[in-house]
Structure 1
Amino acid sequence: MLLISSALLVAFFVSVLTIKVLLPLAPHIGLVDLPNDRKKHDGAIPLIGGISIYTGVLIASTFFVEQSQLLNLYFISSALLVFIGTMDDIYDLSVAPRMIFQGIVATLMVFGAGLYIHDFGNLFALGNVDIGRYGMIFTMLACIAAINAFNMIDGIDGLAGSMSIVTITSVAILTVLENANADILLPLILVVAIIPYLFYNVSTRNPRGKKIFMGDAGSMFMGLSVIWLLAIGTQSSDENTAVFRPVTALWIIAVPLMDMFAIMFRRIRKGVSPFKADNGHLHHICMRLGLSSRQALWAISALSITLALCGIAGEYFNTPEWLMLSLFILVFFGYSFSIQHAWKFVRALK
């Protein structure tokens, strides 16, 4: 318990210290977010939240988490994403360099760490679906998808951080439910390192002029952390035993995943790039319905928590995987339909 408490304190205070050091420096190096047609915030906001989270997790893990090649590759991969994310935050890079770095990170995850999703469980009540080596390709695509899912959902204060906390906390809960003696230190460190960012990002008690954003560095780091933990949690290996079923992972990452696929499908159908930014995300629709940014955050967080709890309950009560998958598909199509026709609902309400 003392080890866990010490690790969490270090993660928290290193994250706070990093914010305090970078706050006055960010404007001088261009690491700020300026308002435009899509971004309605006031003034130049430092994009340092992601760097502070990564630094807190790195330092705490170095001193308190058992070192391994898997952990080292996780931090190397994360460092690459934080770097390219920071460059994107400063220079507004095109899609190509971001995708290249994401591909490198996915390759490190699969071929460096040997971490890939191949066993999908008994999804169709006909025995386990195991795609073997093809899982390497699937995992690389899943890694890139998760990184972009959290990057895309980072549209209002606190949303990407809250979605990360929901998913990572769910992983920790599922791990403890399966094995009370399991090591959940890294997920806990990740959650605690996010808290200072959320205070500076959304708290009404935060001093005026001290607001920060997560930035692409942070949202991409969160996406990688989530897919990394999900791959470890759902797949058995020589060093690791799966602690929850792959179908459960869909439920605990549901909102970022559904939002990304729904919005990309809509963009492709309109004949534009799936990576072209627009105002069609779930948080935009909530605000068009009359919710404030804070109310939209609470509403979406409540939805995410509800779906995650459904996944945890399904795992705990050993609900058949085919049934969990069928219910998730129904939720996904219901969500997609609502997103596609949201503007009709908005006009009708007005």
Structure 2
Amino acid sequence: MFLILSALIVAFIVSISTIKVLLPLAPQIGLVDLPNERKKHDGAIPLIGGISIYTGVLIASTLFIEQSQIVNLYFISSALLVFIGTMDDIYDLNVAPRMIFQGIVATLMVFGAGIYIQDLGNLFTTGNTNIGNYGMLFTMFACVAAINAFNMIDGIDGLAGSMSIVSIASIAILTLLNDNSADILLPLILVVAIIPYLFYNVSTRNPRGKKIFMGDAGSMFMGLTVVWLLALSTQNTPHGQAAFRPVIALWVIAVPLMDMFAIMLRRIRKGVSPFQADNGHLHHICIRLGLTSRQALQVITGLAVLCSLIGILGEVLLVDDWLMLVGFLLLFIVYSYALQHAWKFVRMFK
């Protein structure tokens, strides 16, 4: 317990100290977010949240988590994403370099750390579905998808951070329920390292009114972290036993995943690039319905918590894999339909 508490204190102190150091430096190097037709905030906001979270997690993990190839590759992969994300925050890169770096990171995860999803669980009531080496390609796709899901959902104050905390905390709870307390330190460190960022991003009482954003560096780092933890937690590997079933992972990451795929389908149907930014995400719809940014954050976070609770209860009650999958697919269909026809709901409520 003392070890865990010490690690969490270090993660918090390093994270908030990094913010204080970078706040005056960010404007000098152009690491700020400027308002435009899609971004309605006031003034230049430092994009340093992701760097502060990564630094806090890195230092605390180096001091308190036993080093291994998997841990080292996780931080190397994360550093690559934080780097390209920071470059994107400064220079507004196009899609190509970001996708290249995401592909490199996915390759490191699968072929370097040897982490990939091959057992999909008993989805068809005929025994566990094992896709063997195809799991490498599947995991690389899942890795890139998760990175972009968290990147795309980062649209209002506190949303990406809240989604990250919900997913990572859910993984920690599921791990504990499996009596595997040795693997919860990294998730706990991650959750605590995010708290200072949320304080500066969302709180109206942050020091001297300073405000920061997570930036692409942070949202991509969060996406990689969640998919890395999910892959480790749902598969039996030489590094440890699965903590919960693969289908539960869909519920743990439900809101970012559904929002990404629904919005990309809508863009493709309109004949535009699936990576072209627009104002059709769930948080945009909530605001058009008349909610404030804070109210939209509360509603979407509540939805994420509800989905995670369904996943946790499904694991505890041993609900059949196929039933959990069908439930998720039905939820996605409803979600996608609502997003595709959001203008009807906006007009109805107005």
2:305 aligns with 305
Partner of 2:134: 134
Deviation at 1:138, TM superposition (A): 0.4
Find the counterpart in structure 2 of residue 62 from structure 1: 62
Q: Matches of 2:181 and 2:207 in 1, distance apart? A: 41
Residue 208 of structure 2 corresponds to residue 200 of structure 1: no
In the other structure, the counterpart of 1:189 is 189
Matching of residues 105-124 of structure 1 within 5 Å: 105-124=105-124
* Structure 2 CA distance for aligned equivalents of residues 181 and 274 of structure 1: 40
Give the CA deviation at 1:209. Answer: 4.1
Partner of 2:334: 334
Gaps of 5+ in 1: none
Q: CA deviation at 1:183?
A: 2.4
Q: Aligned equivalents of 1:237 and 1:183: distance in 2? A: 14
Over residues 197-227 of structure 1, what are the superposed CA-to-partner deviations in whole Å (9 max), with x where a residue is unaligned? Answer: 0000000111344100000000000000000
**SS at 2:182's partner residue?**
coil
Q: Which residue of 2 aligns with 1:322?
A: 322
Alpha-carbon distance between aligned partners in 1 of 2:98 and 2:239, rounded to the nearest angstrom = 32
Q: What is residue 222 of structure 1 aligned with on the other side?
A: 222
Is 338-347 or 49-58 further displaced after alignment? 338-347
Question: SS state of the match for residue 11, structure 1?
Answer: helix
**Mapped partners of 2:119, 2:53: distance in 1:** 31
Match of 2:98 in 1: 98
2:258 matched residue in structure 1: 258
| TM-score after normalising by structure 1 | 0.99
8 Å contact 1:245–1:315 — kept in the other structure? yes
Q: Distance in 2 between matches of 1:244 and 1:320?
A: 13
Runs (4 or more) in structure 1 with deviation over 6 Å come to none
What SS does the aligned partner of 1:121 have? coil
- The CA deviation string for residues 5-28 of structure 1, in whole angstroms up to 9 with x for no partner, is 000000000000000000000000
Root mean square deviation, CA, Å = 0.7
Q: Give the aligned partner of residue 82 of structure 2.
A: 82
Shift of 1:180: 4.8
The secondary structure found in structure 1 opposite 2:183 is coil
Cα contact 1:175–1:182 (8 A) shared by 2: no
Distance in 2 (alpha carbons) for counterparts of 1:212 and 1:169: 23
- Map of 1:43 onto structure 2: 43
- Once the two structures are superposed, the pairs formed by residues 157-176 of structure 1 within 5 Å of their partners are 157-176=157-176
Letter in 2 for 1:289: L
Instruction: Give the structure 2 partner of residue 13 of structure 1.
Output: 13
Structure 2, unpaired ranges of 5+: none
Normalised by the length of structure 2, the TM-score is 0.99
Letter in 1 for 2:238: D
